Amino acid sequence: MEGTQAARAPRDATVTVASDTPASTPFLLLAAVAGIGQIAANLPLPSLPAIAETFRVGAGGGELVLAVFLAAFAPFQLVWGPLSDRHGRRPVVLGTLALFAAGSLLCAAATSFAVLLAGRVLQAAGGAAGLAIARAMIRDANEGAGVGRGMASLSMAIAAVPALSPLAGAGLDLLAGWRAGFVASAAVALVVLAWAAKALGESNRTRLAVLDAAAIARGYRGVWSSQRFRANVLVAAGAMGGLFAFGAGSPHLYITVFGLTPTAYALYPLIAVIGVVIGGGIARRLMKSGRTTAGLTTGTVLMLAGGIGMVALGPLDLFTKHGVNVTMSLFVLGLGLALPAAFAEALAEFKGNAGTAASLAGAIQIAGGAVAAGLAGVIGMPAAMAACGLLAIASLAIRPATERP
């Protein structure tokens, strides 16, 4: 029961509101809102060399286009969740989609590298809301196993975005130059915004009565004080860390070491899509039958096995692209199983302040990914993925006794 009292919003600090807006929201719209930030993160990747050449900033400048986005993305998640707890999910989603579109257009029209980076910050600020708010809306609308099933469905629905966005970005760059990718991002955001204005329901019926800096800090302290939240969100951080480590280390490994062309390499992230979709489908069935813990435990073990297995490929003289593919498939299969269950359990206690909890969970998850990506450059991709698997499995040990099988 540790943290439960602090985690729940105090009764006198909330108000129940009526709304003429229907609470139901098309699931595909929710997935589109959740995926918009990943589009911005991944679509420009094939264009980074061209951007660096345009502004004469060198290869490091191209990498800065991604680094600035990620550096802004995590902290802005901490802003939108509490705001949606206070003012509702719908206005936050509509406002941040408009902000995202403005940032994308600023990037497309940039005449200097500084202006481009400013546009990336606005993109990140707007895109950061989507996934956190989508998860909060799933928590608003469901109880028990329904939360986990919703998280699994959302993971499956947006699994292809990180893999397919670079391919789309490469095509747009080839056809019309690097600015076309940012124009396309703005167009997607405006389409989703128009759809959301028409069809996005308001799921948050219990609002925080007061919101200021002190209230936000108290909210985050309350969420973090929950042992159940801490344990499960660290599993999620390990899962995302492994994925980021692969993203950071695989271009050098597949192109330089294994000799693939950049075009051929672009197909390999589809491994992650397949693993997440299969794992998510299994997780959804497990949670439908009330076996959330089974999916979480099995998935975490598979992530550890994939990471340790990849490290073992070298001593076994099996370190080839096929060996890496097999162990990576094992890791992402485990990720697909564990991640929805981890988020469902992390948010389980937070009905009145689900936005705050989802924002903190998302920020920790992204921070874990950023650390793992950096670690991959220091100790190598396989060792970084193994470390992420170890973090996830160790986090299971600190779950409350009521969560354990």
The sign of the torsion formed by the CA atoms of 174, 175, 181, 182 equals: positive
CA dist 24 and 268 (Å) reads: 37
* Domains of the chain listed by start with CATH number: 20-207 (1.20.1250.20), 219-400 (1.20.1250.20)
Q: How far is CA 147 from CA 137, 229, 284, 344, in A?
A: 10, 15, 10, 6
Please name the amino acid found at residue 253: L
Question: Is the pTM for the entire model greater than 0.85?
Answer: no
Q: Give the model confidence (pLDDT) of 393-403 as tens digits.
A: 998 877 765 55
Cα distance between residue 203 and residue 355, in whole Å:
11
Which one, of 116, 84, 148, 123, lies nearest residue 287 by Cα? 148
Residue 377 confidence (pLDDT): 77
Nearest to 198 by CA among 31, 80, 24: 24
Whole-number pLDDT of residue 336: 85
Average pLDDT, the chain: 80
Place of tokens 């450059």: 377
User: pLDDT category, 290, cuts 50, 70, 90?
Assistant: low
Asked if the model's pLDDT at residue 316 lies above 80, the reply is: yes
Token readout for 318 is 């099996």
Rounded to an integer, the average pLDDT of 183-210 is 84
Residue 327, pLDDT score: 93
Alpha-carbon span 193 to 3, nearest angstrom: 37
**More confident: 390 or 45:** 390
Q: What is the pLDDT of residues 113-136, one digit of tens each?
A: 999 999 999 999 998 888 888 888
pLDDT category of residue 11 using cuts at 50, 70 and 90: very low
Q: What angle do CA 40, 42, 45 make, to 5 degrees?
A: 115
| DSSP output for 5-51 | HHHSPPGGGEEE---SS-S---HHHHHHHHHHHHHHHHTTGGGHHHH
Q: Is 394 exposed, middle or buried (0-12, 13-18, 19+ CB in 10 A)?
A: middle
Residue 158 confidence class, pLDDT cut points 50, 70, 90: confident
